[in-house]
Amino acid sequence: LLGLAVLLLYARRTRRRNEPPLDKGMIPWLGHALEFGKDAAKFLTRMKQKHGDIFTVRAAGQYITVLLDSNCYDAVLSDVVSLDQTGYAQVLMKRIFSLNLPNHNPESEKKRAEMHFQGSALTQLCSSMQNNLQHLVTPSEMGLKVSEWKKDGLFHFCYSLLFKTGYLTVFGAEKNNSAALAEIYEEFRRFDKLLPKLARTTENKEEKQIASSAREKLWKWLTPSRLDRKPERQSWLGNYVQHLQDEGIDAETQRRAMLLQLWVTQGNSGPTAFWVLGYLLTHPEALRAVTEEIQGGKHLRPEEKQKNTPVFDSVLSETLRLTAAALITREVKQDKKICLSNGQEYQLRRGDRLCVFPFISPQMDPQIHQQPEMFQFDRFLNADGTEKKDFFKEGLRVKYPSVPWGTKDNLCPGRQFAISAIKELVFTILTRFDLELCDKNAKLPLVDPTRYGFGILQPAGDLEIRYRIRS
Ligand code: HEM
């Protein structure tokens, strides 16, 4: 009876004065949930065309206000009292990682990470990352003789290499067990592939079992006391484990939390490296420009090589513009008035959710970026070769042309490390390997549309390549 009453209450919801346009969809309670989950970008683009930069949709009993006016993201999200990010984060942690961390505070976690991913700690981390990558691309590690061609999928090639590099660097694993490293990557991928389904609780019985088994194995390997080297106290991971212990978190929960951190730190860089190299291989003029830039820096010391690379930086920004698709979600804790950049005010209702989706705007906004679906390697370059920062919408300068690392108060603390690792991988491959498409007319695979909302997109298929280590 109570369920019926709640259902009726929801069905009766109407738009109040000053609230955003309300679109409940045709199906009672479920509303737009199916379309939203199937392809969030397509659905939200359709809603934006229908309603504009702000609207409220119903999905699985929840009312979600979607805000797509990028010039006001920072101002709206800075109100951490009215807009809470912990509640929904807890739900996802439980669904995806089977993890209960009642005191988890994303803001303080980000502060902790920020301390460890900057300054001299960052320099040390980057140098360790470079050593680990150089080790992983030796002929013996790759199981390849010099000049011998090997075929692979580009996504698998990039993701496995960068995952292993990152795991060795951040989790301090020993280099000498490549079979174990390969096994950890394969289990991680089994789990990572199912992540959107786990988040939406749409996995079937068989998928549930695959995810559980992958998680079990990863938990076992990631148990802090079982790692090859116990995380050093002064490292980010060591500090995190210490924090969990200080909070009285039991050993089982600790190892589950390690998988969360494995995904946060290793789940996005590999896919980004894939898109960067995929775009380069399918856009010869971009590949030529990047190769020339790398050649120009050949004489520099290793630590200098990454510094002045405006062409590569533009390629990376353009790649992230096209593939960074995190959905930023908050719970509205109290009624709140928000102001769009055109001065119009709207009321958010307590109990609803607020979502910001920078992928649609600014990143794919045709008023900001001409032909937004096209890869243009020099989109973020001025005519004089410097970084282009000025982009406009309806005559007004936009604050950010792209938001891959999150909004102002929620920036990814690992972004410099991520950029450095992606750069190192791409430069290493372009200088130490011959890398070609198996079919020189091949196109990039389409995006897997279920991944909108979960960070960097992943392809629905792969791009066949052949590569060899140069003599
Ligand atoms: C959080 C993007 C790689 C560490 C975030 C957030 C974004 C993001 C958008 C904010 C999420 C939110 O608050 O809603 C990316 C992208 C990456 C990347 C696009 C690669 C291309 C990395 C790497 C590390 C890292 C390599 C560390 C080695 C973190 C941490 C958080 C975070 C610790 C905070 C998570 C929390 O709330 O506890 N990242 N990231 N990220 N990122 Fe990254």
Q: 260 alpha carbon to ligand 1 midpoint, in Å? A: 11
Distance, in Å, from the CA atom of 89 to the CA atom of 82, rounded to the nearest integer, reads 16
112 CB within 6 A, ligand 1: no
The identity of residue 198, as a single letter, is L
**Atom number in ligand 1 closest to CA 170:** 28
456 CB within 6 A, ligand 1: yes
pLDDT band at 230 (very low <50, low <70, confident <90, very high): low
Q: Pick from 70, 11, 83, 15: which is nearest to 346 by CA?
A: 15
pLDDT band at 10 (very low <50, low <70, confident <90, very high): low
Q: Which residues pair with 453 in a beta bridge?
A: 326
355 CB within 6 A, ligand 1: no
Question: What is the rounded average pLDDT of the residues 280-296?
Answer: 96
Residues in CB range of 456: below 8 A, 6 or more apart: 267, 268, 271, 272, 275, 320, 323, 324, 325
**Atom number in ligand 1 closest to CA 406:** 9
Question: What is the rounded average pLDDT of the residues 19-28?
Answer: 95
- pLDDT value at position 229? 67
Asked whether the bond before 459 is cis by omega within 30 degrees of 0, the reply is no
348 CB within 6 A, ligand 1: no
413 CB within 6 A, ligand 1: yes
Distance, in Å, from the CA atom of 193 to the CA atom of 89, rounded to the nearest integer, reads 20
Q: 405 alpha carbon to ligand 1 midpoint, in Å? A: 7
- pLDDT value at position 224? 80
- Tell whether the model's pLDDT for residue 1 goes beyond 90: no
Q: What is the pTM of this model?
A: 0.95
- pLDDT value at position 209? 98
Across 102-111, 326-335, 406-415, the highest mean pLDDT is recorded for: 326-335
- Tell whether the model's pLDDT for residue 152 goes beyond 90: yes
pLDDT band at 185 (very low <50, low <70, confident <90, very high): very high
Q: Report the residue among 91, 101, 327, 415 best suited for mutation to probe ligand 1: largest number of ligand atoms under 8 A from its CB.
A: 415
Q: 267 alpha carbon to ligand 1 midpoint, in Å? A: 9
- Tell whether the model's pLDDT for residue 294 goes beyond 60: yes
269 CB within 6 A, ligand 1: yes
192 CB within 6 A, ligand 1: no
453 CB within 6 A, ligand 1: no
Q: Count Cβ atoms within 10 A of the Cβ of residue 291 and give its class: 0-12 exposed, 13-18 middle, 19 or more buried.
A: middle
**Atom number in ligand 1 closest to CA 113:** 33
- pLDDT value at position 359? 98
| Mean pLDDT for the chain overall | 93
Residue nearest to atom 3 of ligand 1 (CA): 418
Q: Which two tokens stand for residue 411?
A: 């920036």
Q: Which two tokens stand for residue 232?
A: 């050093």
- Tell whether the model's pLDDT for residue 177 goes beyond 90: no
Calculate the alpha carbon distances from 142 to 157, 216, 432 in Å.
11, 28, 13
Q: Pick from 116, 121, 117, 125: which is nearest to 424 by CA?
A: 125
Q: What is the CA radius of gyration of the chain?
A: 23
Asked which of 103-107, 212-216, 251-255, 365-369 is least confident by mean pLDDT, the reply is: 103-107
274 CB within 6 A, ligand 1: no
70 CB within 6 A, ligand 1: no
Question: What is the rounded average pLDDT of the residues 47-53?
Answer: 97
- pLDDT value at position 7? 56
Q: 63 alpha carbon to ligand 1 midpoint, in Å? A: 27
- pLDDT value at position 79? 95
Q: What is the tens place of the pLDDT at every residue in 387-424?
A: 999 999 999 999 999 999 999 888 999 999 999 999 99
Q: Report the residue among 192, 412, 423, 426 best suited for mutation to probe ligand 1: largest number of ligand atoms under 8 A from its CB.
A: 412
406 CB within 6 A, ligand 1: yes
Asked which of 174-188, 363-377, 378-392, 417-431 is least confident by mean pLDDT, the reply is: 174-188
323 CB within 6 A, ligand 1: no
pLDDT band at 228 (very low <50, low <70, confident <90, very high): low
272 CB within 6 A, ligand 1: yes
Share of the chain above pLDDT 90, in %: 85
Q: 415 alpha carbon to ligand 1 midpoint, in Å? A: 7
Residues in CB range of 12: below 8 A, 6 or more apart: none
- pLDDT value at position 5? 56
Residue nearest to atom 41 of ligand 1 (CA): 414
Three-class secondary structure assignment of the chain: CHHHHHHHHHHCCCCCCCCCCEECCCCCCCECHHHHHHCHHHHHHHHHHHHCCEEEEEECCEEEEEECCHHHHHHHHCCCCCEECHHHHHHHHHHHHCCCCCCCCHHHHHHHHHHHCCHHHHHHHHHHHHHHHHHHCCHHHHCCCCCCCEEEEHHHHHHHHHHHHHHHHHCCCCCCCHHHHHHHHHHHHHHHHHHHHHHHCCCCHHHHHHHHHHHHHHHHHHCHHHCCCCCCCCCHHHHHHHHHHHCCCCHHHHHHHHHHHHHHHHCCHHHHHHHHHHHHHHCHHHHHHHHHHHHHCCCCCHHHHCCCCHHHHHHHHHHHHHHECECEEEEECCCEEEECCCCCEEEECCCCEEEECCHHHHHCCCCCCCCCCCCCCCCCECCCCCECCCCEECCEECCCCCCCCCCHHHCCCCHHHHHHHHHHHHHHHHHHEEEEECCCCCCCCCECHHHCECCECCECCCCEEEEEECC
Residues in CB range of 206: below 8 A, 6 or more apart: none
- pLDDT value at position 9? 54
Question: What is the rounded average pLDDT of the residues 417-441?
Answer: 97
Question: What is the rounded average pLDDT of the residues 26-37?
Answer: 94
Q: 169 alpha carbon to ligand 1 midpoint, in Å? A: 16
**Number of Cβ atoms within 10 Å of the Cβ of 348:** 26
Q: 470 alpha carbon to ligand 1 midpoint, in Å? A: 34
